[in-house]
Amino acid sequence: MAKQRVLSGMQPSGLLHLGNLMGALDNWRKLQDKYECYYFIADWHALTTNYADTKNIRTYVREMVIDWLAAGLDPEKAVLFQQSLVPEHAVLHVLLSMSTPLPWLERVPTYKEKMDQIQDREMNTYGFLGYPVLQAADILIYKANFVPVGIDQLPHLELTREICRRFDQFYGNVFPEPQPLMTEYPKLPGTDGRKMSKSYNNTLNLSDTPEIITKKVMAMITDPARVRRQDPGNPDVCPLFSLDRIFAPKEWCDHVNVECRRAGIGCVDDKKELLKHLLAYLKPIQEKRKELVNQPQMITEIIHEGSRKARVIAQKTLAEVYEAMKL
Ligand code: SF4
């Protein structure tokens, strides 16, 4: 029986970090063994919020693919491709935009949130409002059966499903409705205690050397109420302890959970122990990275070959869409 198809993408808007690794890449790596996976570099999506400053985008595209491969994505198992090399996404985006009611886009929760959050750029653009339609095109053009999502991305997928149903209602049954592949992502705090995110500049990057990771972790925020070594701390509110729980052995976490509360252990000790496990976890990824950085031609070929394969499917679907719409 043919494998079911999964689609997911990532914006090349900065260097990938530990949150991306634990939140998406680890999951993608597992899925590639079970499904026919299409993973794409969403470079057009990166333009929706960063259209004016594109000077780093090519670097980010390449670095992202290096991170993907270093994290275990395999171009023999999954199709790794670049959105802008498959122009059929844009054609389907235009066609879907004809039948998508404007209020559907205006009510997307992240639309208003991001408009409020991003103050340093003009965000009131056609491209930004329409990005969920582009997202729908990305998914539907491969007739993806599943899209891996966390709970917060469910409304986006629901909108894709609505766009899909509306298209099919007018033109016949062209697209299968994509289903969510619910994924539990561990929430990773950044070095300042907020969610790890490029936009907060608080990330531990996959491309950081062990020395940089060490420096960042040693400077990381802990329980803010624990000012001096002799003050008891509270692991429940400590961002570093959240990383302990993911990377350090259970015995160490249990030990910290008791000793921190009676000032029996200092934050420096805890950070050093965390670093031991975190660096060991990252070591194979960083070693693979080093090899890949020296093979720029191979990276180009992987992107081009993946995009060529993706295009075959995208063109086939688009031909069906033209037929259904009588174009
Ligand atoms: S000892 Fe560990 S858990 Fe306690 S406050 Fe310091 S870093 Fe956080």
Q: What pLDDT digit, counting tens, does each position of 154-203 carry?
A: 888 999 999 999 999 999 999 999 999 988 777 899 999 999 988 789 99
Q: Is 267 in the pocket of ligand 1 (CB under 6 A)?
A: yes
b/e code 48-57 from CB counts within 10 Å (16+ = b): bbbeeeeeeb
Query: Within 13 Å, how many C-alpha atoms sit on residue 125's CB side?
Result: 15
Q: Is 223 in the pocket of ligand 1 (CB under 6 A)?
A: yes
Structure confidence by residue, pLDDT tens digits, 224-248: 999 899 999 999 999 999 999 999 9
pLDDT of residue 114: 74
Structure confidence by residue, pLDDT tens digits, 106-115: 888 777 777 7
Question: C-alpha dihedral over 46, 48, 52, 55, to 10 degrees?
Answer: 10
Residue of minimum CA distance from atom 4 in ligand 1: 260
Ligand 1 probe mutation, 238, 243, 275, most atoms within 8 A of CB:
238
User: What are the structure tokens assigned to 176, written together?
Assistant: 């299968």
User: What spatial distance separates the first Cα and last Cα of the chain, rounded to whole Å?
Assistant: 33
Segments of the chain assigned E as strands = 5-10, 36-41, 79-82, 146-149, 179-182
Ligand 1 probe mutation, 267, 272, 274, 278, most atoms within 8 A of CB:
267
CA of 16 to the centre of ligand 1 (A): 26
Ligand 1 probe mutation, 220, 265, 269, most atoms within 8 A of CB:
265
Q: Cα 171 to the chain's mean position, in Å?
A: 33
| Residue 271 CA, closest ligand 1 atom number | 7
Burial class (CB within 10 angstroms; exposed 0-12, middle 13-18, buried 19+) of 70: buried
Give the predicted TM-score (pTM) of the model: 0.92
Structure confidence by residue, pLDDT tens digits, 263-316: 999 999 999 999 999 999 999 999 999 999 999 999 999 999 999 999 999 999
Could you give the CA distance from residue 244 to residue 269 in angstroms, rounded to a whole number?
12
* 151 DSSP assignment: G
| Residue 266 CA, closest ligand 1 atom number | 1
Structure confidence by residue, pLDDT tens digits, 136-154: 999 999 999 999 988 778 8
